[in-house]
């Protein structure tokens, strides 16, 4: 995004507009945090702003300021289609390919609204009028902070905006521990705390609201953990039957994949989660160092993401998906054994 782009966007935002903000399907803390942070900022400027999420998200995100205002496309398709149709400006946040918004893809790609992408995933598609893409960023929330800064409006950040942006930076950086966390990230979260983000309370809301059943499910996931030392790889499976037995709720498996990576010597971790509802196996991949799970997921599991964190899917059965996973590891033997 260059100076001319910023000036054009400034002009656009200088009069009230009908704006829609869209996060990706199965939105996470960064997707919801960045959408709500931008929402509050644009509302302060008297725009008519509506967030439309493709579908629902976990309860641990349902406390952020004005979260209850978010529309879910899969509940109210016709209303949402009309809102998108009438939008003058659409912000797409935390994704870079319209395939990531599920059933919303058709109406959004048909819309004649000016589109602004703000995102940190690799290999962005070229659908937006203005693209602010930076894969070196910890999170889309960090980029929304920068976006507000580029518009010379840092003084407009209040405690609602700060709370939402802090949340997404915290969740996408694994509480500031992933390598994507830079000194600038810390400088920004410092400013967000000064502007009213309650860091300890936000952490509490996200991570200390477990149900007993979720911890039991984690216990099952950990007992299913398998290690393949020659490829420095660990993986977890969870069948639909196991999810049902522990009263699975959306978001309950968030973060489970990281336990594989916490094993000494392991640099590649995966979790395979059976979903009867979607009729697929949902896959999360994580790595340490240069091993790119984005590339592996794009090549074998119809997904993508970042070098060290990616998602994907498989239409095979759970056991066939695991067999496929194990069968592709030899291709990566050299990469997985590099230090």
**Alpha helices in the chain, H assignment, sequence order:** 3-12, 29-44, 77-86, 105-110, 140-150, 159-172, 183-194, 199-207, 212-223, 240-245, 257-261, 293-300, 318-328, 333-336
Count the site residues for ligand 5GP by CB under 6 A.
13
Q: Which of 81, 142, 172, 335 binds Mn ion (CB under 5 A)?
A: 172
Judged by CB under 5 A, the stretch of 26-34, 45-53, 130-138, 270-278 that binds Mn ion is 26-34
Please tell me whether residue 94 binds Mn ion under the rule CB under 5 A: yes
Residue 309 binding result from Mn ion, ligand 5GP, none, given CB thresholds of 5 to 8 Å by partner type: ligand 5GP
Cβ contacts of residue 238 below 8 Å, gap of 6+? 217, 220, 221, 224, 253, 256, 271, 272, 273, 274
Judged by CB under 5 A, the stretch of 27-35, 104-112, 266-274, 296-304 that binds Mn ion is 27-35
Residues 275-314: x/- map of binding to ligand 5GP (CB under 6 A)?
---------x------------------xxxx--xxxx--
Sign (positive or negative) of CA dihedral 291, 221, 326, 24: negative
Under DSSP, the state recorded for 123 is: S
Q: What is the DSSP string of 77-118?
A: HHHHHHHHHH-SEEEEES-SSGGGGGGGHHHHHH--SEEEEE
Residue 310 binding result from Mn ion, ligand 5GP, none, given CB thresholds of 5 to 8 Å by partner type: ligand 5GP
Residues 57-96: x/- map of binding to ligand 5GP (CB under 6 A)?
----------------------------------------
CB-CB contact of 310 with 303 (8 Å): yes
> 221 φ, ψ to 5°?
-60, -40
CB-CB contact of 213 with 246 (8 Å): yes
Residue 98 binding result from ligand 5GP, Mn ion, none, given CB thresholds of 5 to 8 Å by partner type: none
Residue 121 CB, nearest approach to ligand 5GP (Å): 6
Residue 262 CB, nearest approach to ligand 5GP (Å): 16
Of 184-243, binders to Mn ion (CB under 5 A) are none
Q: What are the residues binding ligand 5GP (CB under 6 A)?
A: 24, 97, 100, 121, 284, 303-306, 309-312
């Amino acid at each position: 995004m260059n100076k001319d782009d910023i000036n054009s966007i400034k002009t656009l935002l200088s009069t009230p507009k009908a704006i829609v903000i869209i996060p990706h399907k199965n939105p996470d803390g960064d997707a919801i945090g960045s959408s709500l942070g931008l929402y509050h900022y644009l509302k302060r400027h008297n725009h008519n702003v509506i967030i439309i999420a493709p579908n629902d998200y976990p309860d641990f995100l349902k406390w952020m300021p004005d979260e209850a205002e978010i529309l879910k496309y899969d509940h109210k398709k016709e209303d949402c289609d009309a809102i998108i149709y009438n939008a003058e400006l659409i912000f797409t946040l935390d994704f870079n390919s319209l395939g990531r918004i599920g059933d919303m893809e058709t109406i959004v790609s048909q819309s004649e609204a000016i589109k602004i992408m703000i995102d940190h995933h690799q290999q962005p598609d070229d659908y937006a009028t203005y693209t602010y893409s930076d894969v070196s960023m910890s999170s889309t929330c960090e980029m929304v902070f920068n976006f507000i800064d580029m518009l010379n409006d840092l003084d407009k950040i209040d405690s609602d905006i700060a709370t939402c942006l802090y949340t997404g930076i915290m969740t996408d950086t694994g509480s500031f521990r992933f390598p994507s966390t830079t000194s600038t990230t810390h400088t920004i979260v410092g400013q967000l705390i000064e502007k009213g983000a309650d860091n300890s309370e936000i952490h509490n809301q996200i991570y200390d609201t477990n149900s007993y059943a979720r911890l039991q499910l984690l216990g099952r996931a950990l007992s299913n953990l398998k290690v393949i030392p020659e490829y420095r790889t660990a993986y977890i499976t969870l069948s639909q039957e196991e999810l049902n037995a522990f009263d699975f709720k959306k978001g309950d498996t968030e973060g489970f994949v990281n336990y594989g990576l916490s094993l000494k010597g392991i640099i590649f971790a995966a979790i395979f989660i059976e979903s009867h509802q979607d009729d697929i196996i949902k896959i999360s991949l994580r790595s340490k160092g240069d091993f790119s799970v984005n590339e592996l997921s794009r090549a074998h599991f119809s997904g993508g993401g970042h070098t060290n964190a990616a998602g994907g899917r498989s239409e095979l059965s759970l056991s066939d998906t695991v067999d496929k996973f194990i069968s592709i590891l030899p291709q990566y033997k050299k990469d997985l054994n590099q230090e």
